[in-house]
Every structure is written in C-alpha cells, then in structure tokens.
Chains A and B, each alone.
Chain A
Amino acid sequence: MIQFFRVYKTYPGNIRALANISFKIERGDFVFITGPSGAGKTTLLKLIIRAERPDQGEIVVNKRNVARLRNSQIPALRREIGFVFQDFKLLNHKTVYDNIALVLRALGHKKRDIPKRVRQVLRVVGLEEWALKQSPLKLSGGEQQRVAIARALLNTPAIILADEPTGNLDPDLTVEIIDLLEKVNTLGTTVVVATHDTSLVAQYNKRIIPLLRGQLAA
C-alpha cells in the first residue's frame, strides 16, 4: 500500500529531514511512526500525500509513484488518503455539519446526498445528532478529533494518516481516539499514526517504524 525506497528529503538551509528511508506498509496494516520532535515524522507523512517532494528515492502509494505525479494528479491521490492533524484543523466559524459538508462538496458529492453521508460518518466516529449544529469550539478536544476523523473518513479512503492525533488530548481521550482508529482499521483501512508518545505505542501491539534524526532507528 505504501512503499518508501531510499528516500531523502532536505529543506532549504541544508536542514536534513529524512535520509535513506526504505520501508513497506501492507494494505490493512496499522503502523506507528515514532520518534522525538524533529525526527522527520511529519515530513514522512507530507511526502505520502505529496505536500512535499523527495529529493531522491521513490515513494509508491496505492500503486501511484508519488514522486513523479503531475500537479493535476495530486487531488486524485489525496482522495484516497484521509489526514488527521494534532490541532484538528476544523473551521471554527462553521458548524460541525458545514465542516464536513464543505469537504463533500469539494469532492463532488451531490447536494442531496450530503446530509445522509454527514450523519453516516458521524455515527461511525460515535458522535450524536446534537453535535451537527455546534461550532467545533463548543466540543471537547476528543469530540473535535472525532469530527476530524469523520472528515478524513468521508471519501472511504484506503489510507488514514494521523499526525500526532492525540497530542492535544488527555490520556483517556487518547485511548478513545486510538481505539477509534483501530476500529477504522478493522474495516480494512490502512492506518499510519505518527506519534512521539512511546507509552501510548507500548499499549498497542502494532508495528512500529522508529525514526531518529531523519533516519530509521535500528
């Protein structure tokens, strides 16, 4: 599903983010990318969605050679990937419903299908009807992250990437969110979670890709 082969990435100012990264994630896997801040976790996720381009190496995501994609082909790649952020990235001036509906419109869903689909994904992440008309700011951190996960699931993606999804949550909510991602994984979606929280990773018996200063740790 995701394959990195000798990937290098350096930012302007000769800041090395990733060097000689090779790994393979199979369809339906649940993988933790671990490492301290600055290890290159976010860069790795950005490379998968082609928010960044590698300097060297090949990246294959769902049979697409990401490094060689034309700009016009990037939206198609991203429609196969759901992305969850540490800071949720919800639009606080819109309601929960509008946050999700906007994405559905952007993905070309018909207007009449939107209400049904919004309710469907919110049920999957365990949110009730009352949340629809709320501003994200009126929800707890855990609820906001559920909305963000619902948004990521909208297009029934083959892959979910989560960048420190529990970084802003307390331990109970952290477990809730990872359990939710596990549930999504059991439905067949490949899940990649980047986290610096080693205690969290230790609670789950999942494959780990450890990074240290931009390289795969031994």
Chain B
Amino acid sequence: MSALFIVRRIFGVMKENGPAHLVSIGTIAVAFFLFSSFLLLPLNFASVLEAWEKKVQIILYLKDGIGEKRIPQLTEALHKEEGIREVRYISQRAAKESFERDLAGYGGVLKGLEEGIFPASFEITLHERFRTPERIRALAERLGAIKEVEEVQYGGVWLERLSLFLYTLRWGVWILGGVLVVIIVSVTANTVRLTLYNKRGEIEILKLVGATDSFVKLPFYLEGGLQGLLGAGGSVLLLLVLFHAFSYKVAPYLSFYFGQLHLSFLPPHMIAWILGIGVVAGLLGGLFSLRKAAGI
C-alpha cells in the first residue's frame, strides 16, 4: 500500500463527504483559535506588564510644614533603602508650576490657586529587579511608615491586578486546552463515524474480499488526524492574520497608554505543539469512532 495511494484514499473519502468535513474542520479551527488566542494573551500581557513595570514609580506625598533642612536628610535616607535607584524631590512650588504647565490651556481656571494646596513629594524610581508587584508593595509599605509621609501612591494595584489576571489566564489556558481536546475528539469522532456510515458498503466489500484490517481502517484513522491538522493549521493561520492586523492598526494607539508595546506571535515550538495536539486529538477521534463502529 503506497503512501500516495493512502493519501488519495483519504482525500477521496473526505471529498465524498465534503460538507461534513468542512464543518468539522471549521469547528476544530474555531476551538483551536480560542485556545491559541488564550496562549497569545498571556504571552503579550507579560510584555505589557513588563512595560508598566518599567514605568512604575513610587510617589511619597509629604505632610505640610516640613522644614527645608529635613529634605536632604530624607533624600539620603531614601537612597539608603534597598531597591531605590533615583529620588527626586518636588517642592510645593515645583508641583504648582508643573500643574500649570500641564494645564496651560486652562490658565484662567488656575488663577488664584495657592501654592499651599500642592503637597511636596518625592518621586522614587526603582532598580529593575525591584519592579515586581510584590517588591513594590513591600517597599511602599515601608516608606509609608516614615512619619513625614502623608500618602504613598504607586501603580501597584493595577500591577497586582494585571499580574493576577495573567496568572489566572495561564491556568485558564490549560483548562481550556483540556476542554478543547474533548471537543476535537468528539467532533472528529462524529465526522469519521459519518464517513464510516457513508462508506459501509465499500468497507463491507473490502472486508469480504480479504483486505487487511490496516488497509480498511488506516484511511479513517488518518482522516481524523488530517482533520485535526487542518483545523489547527487553519486556526494558527487565522490568528496570524488577525495578529498582524492588530499589530499594524490597533497597537500604535494602545502604545499611548501602555508605552511601546513589543507584541509577539506564538513561537515556533508552540505552533508545533498546537498542530501536534490537533493531529493526536484527530487520531483519537478516528480511533474512538472505529471502535464504536460494530463489525469494523
């Protein structure tokens, strides 16, 4: 039995039952598209998280009435804290000037505002390895305990939420993956079963003339595997097209909010895994349907 003959038989089988196979491949592709998207999200959210972590800084708002002499002492004390790379003092005057610069177009509104309503603050930049949500939170708590500090602000809540979201997403991918395999096995098994039903005459003849089990069954196993492969391949292709469209059309706008985004597509080993899961799930579908088909 030559490979070419087997391939012809598989495509012959699929052609005769064309619409059912198209629906089956389409369903598998949709299921895999969801799975691949869920793989792609954590991959790129990690880069968003990284971009945010780079931008993150801690702002210590100071209580009113702290003497000018105390500022250098506080600055020095902050520099001694582990993880702090840079400390910048913003006086009440500097804060007011900065506010006025930012709202230059609304000059009239700002008239009459006194310097005293803008608190003095320290803007603290962190070393790279300290820009994790846990370490930022710990540092912010320590700094908040300084008696001159009125309030501590940092993007930690968002970072922590994003980090938790990412963690959930990563686990979600595995759960979704499990559900997906069940869907693919079931869809493929049903399509192969339909093909078996349509080909029962041919199968009966082949068995009666003494065709071997492998000759009769192999095309149906492979048909399942091929469906899985085509479905998975189609989903990766669709995702690639949408990913590029997103990268060129949408990502530049998001950069305003998240900074420069470095979006990346699924790496080759992940694509190979997706195709592999497709083939194995399809083969399993073929196997189950052949086992259920009595007398074959």
A-B contact count (CB 8 A): 54
Q: Does B202 contact A91, Cβ atoms closer than 8 Å?
A: yes
Q: Does B201 contact A91, Cβ atoms closer than 8 Å?
A: yes
Residues of chain B with a CB closer than 8 A to A71's CB: 213
Q: How near does chain B come to A77, taking the closest CB pair, in angstroms? A: 7
Q: How near does chain B come to A115, taking the closest CB pair, in angstroms? A: 15
Does A15 touch B at the CB level, under 8 Å?
no
- Interface range for B: 10 to 19
Q: Does B210 contact A155, Cβ atoms closer than 8 Å?
A: yes
Stretch from A24-32, A100-108, A137-145, A168-176 contacting the other chain:
A100-108
0/1 string, B193-219, CB within 8 A of A gives 1: 000000001101111111111011000
Residue of B nearest to A49 (CB): B208
Task: Tell whether A106 pairs with B208 under 8 Å between CB atoms, given A91-B201, A93-B16.
Answer: no
- Interface range for A: 20 to 34
Which B105-145 residues have a C-beta within 8 angstroms of A? Answer: none
Does A78 touch B at the CB level, under 8 Å?
yes
Main secondary structure of the interface of B (DSSP, over half): helix
Of B5, B206, B208, most A-chain CB atoms within 10 Å: B208
Residue of B nearest to A93 (CB): B16
Residues of chain A with a CB closer than 8 A to B205's CB: 89, 91, 102-103, 151
Q: Which residues of B contact A (CB under 8 A)?
A: 1-2, 5, 16, 201-202, 204-213, 215-216
Additional pairs, 7, CB under 8 Å, beyond known A103-B205, A105-B1, A155-B209: A80-B210, A83-B208, A89-B204, A91-B202, A103-B206, A103-B209, A107-B209
28 A-B pairs, CB-CB below 8 angstroms? A51-B208, A74-B210, A75-B211, A75-B212, A76-B210, A78-B207, A78-B208, A78-B209, A78-B210, A79-B209, A80-B210, A81-B210, A83-B208, A83-B209, A89-B204, A89-B205, A103-B205, A103-B209, A103-B211, A105-B1, A105-B5, A106-B206, A106-B211, A106-B215, A107-B211, A111-B5, A151-B205, A155-B209
